Structures are given as C-alpha cells and as structure tokens.
C-alpha cells in the first residue's frame, strides 16, 4: 500500500500550543525537495465564482512538485447533503499530493471545539446555524491538532501560527526554502500574509482570486515594501511561471516548454 493509499486514515497527532512536533516535522521532510509550500485563503466564505475551476487550476500548476505541503487539514461538508464538499483552499494540497508521489503533506487543525467521531469522520467544528460541518480531511498522510489543553481549545489563528513555527524550524535548522500561496481569504488570511511578508519570506498572491489576496495583489505600496511578495494571475501559466521563478518547482521536473519560457529558462 502506498503512502497515498494509506491516507484514508491519516496519522493524528495532538499537541498543546508551544510544544514541539518533532515526529510530524521529520515525516514532512520525507519530500524529495527541501521546499515547503503553505496554502492559505478562502474556505466557507469563498464565493462560487471565486471557487470556479479552483481544483484544476492548482492541480495543473503544481504538476511535478516534490516538496512539502502545509495546510489547514480540514474538509467542509454541506449539512443538507453531506456528500457535497464545500470548495475551499483546504481541498487543494491533497489534490497536489495525490498527483505528486515525491511530495509530503501535513495538515494543521486548531481544536476550537471538543472532537467527536461521527459517520462523517472526526468532526472538528459544527456550529449551530452554519450550513456546513468541518471534519478532519481524509486525504492526508498526517494531521496535527493544536489545543490549549484537553479542556480548552484555541482560535482559528492557531493554524497559521503553528505553520509559521514549523516553517521557521525548516528554514532555520534544515536549510529549507518556503512559500506562502494565498488565494482569496479574509481577516485571518490577511494576518498570515502580513506575518509572513514581515519575516522576509516569499509570498505568492493570486490576483483574480477575490477578497484579501486580490486586494494585496493590487496594493502597489505593499508590494514595494515587501519585494519577496509575488503576484500571479489566476491562470496555470502565470502560477506555474511564478513557482519556477521562486523555486517551488524545478526546471528539470517541468516538461512543458511554455512554462520554461515564462521565467527565461532555456529548453533542454
């Protein structure tokens, strides 16, 4: 059985805020390339228009990726029909991982409520009045749940703060490179964009994705202040070209000539 086949029942780690996560981080380093991509952006509040074509866009853009993927390891299911998956940024990394066997993946989940097992899987969040239920995403190799204590949960910002900590470890102690990819999103996404940019780490904003990512993608003063913040249009060619330029994709893994021409590489 391959790693991807086994992902239907991901390994689950639970930690308190501030604790180290050696085992999870070491498993993340099984990726062939020393490059970690963190995905942030829209989930339950993403419009249908902004979610249109989202999966294929990133599936094609990340073809050949062999680094590590960090994401909010959840899935949203419609309450009225639980067979329907609500589109969101957390659906993208598992799609990329499944298509690229030399990559690795880790989901980060803040425990905002008591966890419970149901027929849907492990329920993370089920707010009264909401149209969807949030569960642990089944398509990941491992998942890290962050809590304050067994009795106390954390807010949703704990997800990106834990990702910042993991990325800092990888960059500082293992000489990895990193990239934050931001598509759509609201207030929490904005905080992560600013926290990452202020550290001098690369960010890729998808213009045309809506909401906060699009806002900052068109903020000339912000882009001038943070030269490692890049902008790609909502197209495979533009995103793939940016990934090659930043180093998340390697030219040797890219077979399509137009992508190489975007960043000025010569075809082999």
**Beta sheet of 142-147, edge-to-edge order:** 11-16, 142-147, 104-110, 68-71, 35-41, 177-183, 203-207, 229-233
Own/partner pairs, 253-257, CB within 8 angstroms, 24+ separation: 253/64, 253/65, 253/66, 254/63, 254/64, 255/64
pLDDT (mean) for 124-151: 83
Span 169-213, pLDDT tens digits: 999 999 999 999 999 999 999 999 999 999 999 999 999 999 999
Q: Answer whether residue 264 shows pLDDT above 70.
A: no
Token pair recorded at residue 250: 């390697």
The answer to whether residue 230 is domain-embedded is: yes
Is residue 203, in this structure, part of any structural domain at all?
yes
Q: How far is CA 11 from the centre of its chain?
A: 18
Task: Work out the average pLDDT over 208-226.
Answer: 97
Residue 117 has pLDDT above 80, yes or no: yes
Average pLDDT over residues 83-89: 91
- How many domains are contained in the chain? 1
Domain hosting 219: range is 3-262
Contact criterion met (CB below 8 Å) for 24 and 13: yes
pLDDT tier, 261 (very low <50, low <70, confident <90, very high otherwise):
very low
Reported confidence tier of residue 67, pLDDT bands at 50, 70, 90: very high
In a domain, 237, yes or no: yes
17-38: per-residue pLDDT in tens? 767 778 888 889 999 999 999 9
pLDDT recorded at residue 156: 75
Higher pLDDT, 130 or 247: 247
76: tokens are 């949203």
Query: Got the DSSP string for 201-247?
Result: --EEEEETS-HHHHHHHT-HHHHHH-TTEEEEESSHHHHHHHHHHHT
Q: Which helix (H) or strand (E) holds 43?
A: none
Indicate whether 263 pLDDT > 70. Answer: no
Residue 245 burial (C-beta neighbours within 10 Å; 0-12, 13-18, 19+): middle
Token representation of residue 208: 């045309």
**What mean pLDDT comes out for the span 249-260?**
65
What whole-number distance in Å separates Cα of residue 76 and Cα of residue 132?
A: 6
Residue 56 lies in a domain: yes
Q: CA distances (Å), 28 to each of 84, 93, 106, 146, 207, in order?
A: 30, 13, 7, 17, 29
Q: Is residue 268 part of a domain?
A: no
**Structural tokens at position 99:** 């298509």
Q: Is 33 helix (H, G, I), strand (E, B) or coil?
A: coil
Give the domain CATH number at 160: 3.40.50.450
Q: Residue 267: inside a domain, yes or no?
A: no
Residue 262 is predicted with a pLDDT of: 43
Q: CA–CA separation, 16 vs 219, rounded Å?
A: 37
Is pLDDT of 6 > 70? no
Local confidence band at 151 (pLDDT 50, 70, 90 cut-offs): low
- State what percent of residues in the chain have pLDDT above 70: 88
Query: How much is the pLDDT for 154?
Result: 60
Three-state SS sequence of 74-91: EEEEECCCCCCECCCHHH
Domain assignment present for 121: yes
Q: Is residue 254 domain-resident?
A: yes
- Mean per-residue pLDDT over the chain, rounded: 86
Written as six digits, the tokens of 204 are 């890729």
* Spatial separation of the C-alpha atoms in residues 93 and 61, rounded to whole Å: 12
């Amino acid at each position: 059985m391959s790693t991807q086949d086994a992902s239907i029942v991901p390994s689950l780690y639970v930690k308190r805020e501030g604790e180290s996560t050696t085992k999870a981080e070491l498993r993340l380093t099984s990726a062939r390339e020393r490059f970690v991509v963190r995905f942030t952006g829209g989930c339950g509040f993403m419009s249908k228009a902004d979610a249109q074509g989202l999966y294929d866009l990133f599936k094609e853009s990340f073809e050949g990726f062999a680094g590590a993927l960090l994401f909010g390891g959840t899935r949203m299911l419609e309450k009225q029909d639980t067979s329907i998956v609500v589109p969101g940024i957390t659906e993208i990394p598992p799609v990329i991982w499944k298509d690229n066997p030399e990559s690795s993946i880790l989901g980060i989940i803040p425990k905002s409520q008591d966890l419970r097992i149901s027929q849907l899987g492990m329920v993370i969040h089920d707010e009264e009045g909401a149209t969807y239920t949030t569960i642990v995403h089944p398509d990941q190799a491992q998942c890290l749940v962050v809590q304050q204590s067994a009795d106390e949960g954390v807010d949703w910002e704990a997800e990106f703060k834990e990702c910042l900590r993991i990325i800092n470890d990888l960059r500082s102690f293992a000489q990895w490179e990193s990239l934050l990819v931001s598509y759509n999103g609201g207030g929490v996404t904005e905080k992560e964009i600013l926290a990452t940019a202020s550290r001098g780490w690369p960010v890729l904003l998808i213009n045309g994705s809506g909401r906060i990512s699009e806002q900052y993608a068109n903020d000339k003063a912000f882009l001038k202040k943070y030269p490692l913040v890049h902008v790609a249009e909502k197209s495979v060619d533009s995103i793939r070209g940016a990934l090659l330029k930043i180093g998340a994709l390697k030219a040797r893994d890219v077979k399509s000539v137009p992508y190489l021409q975007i960043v000025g590489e010569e075809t082999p």
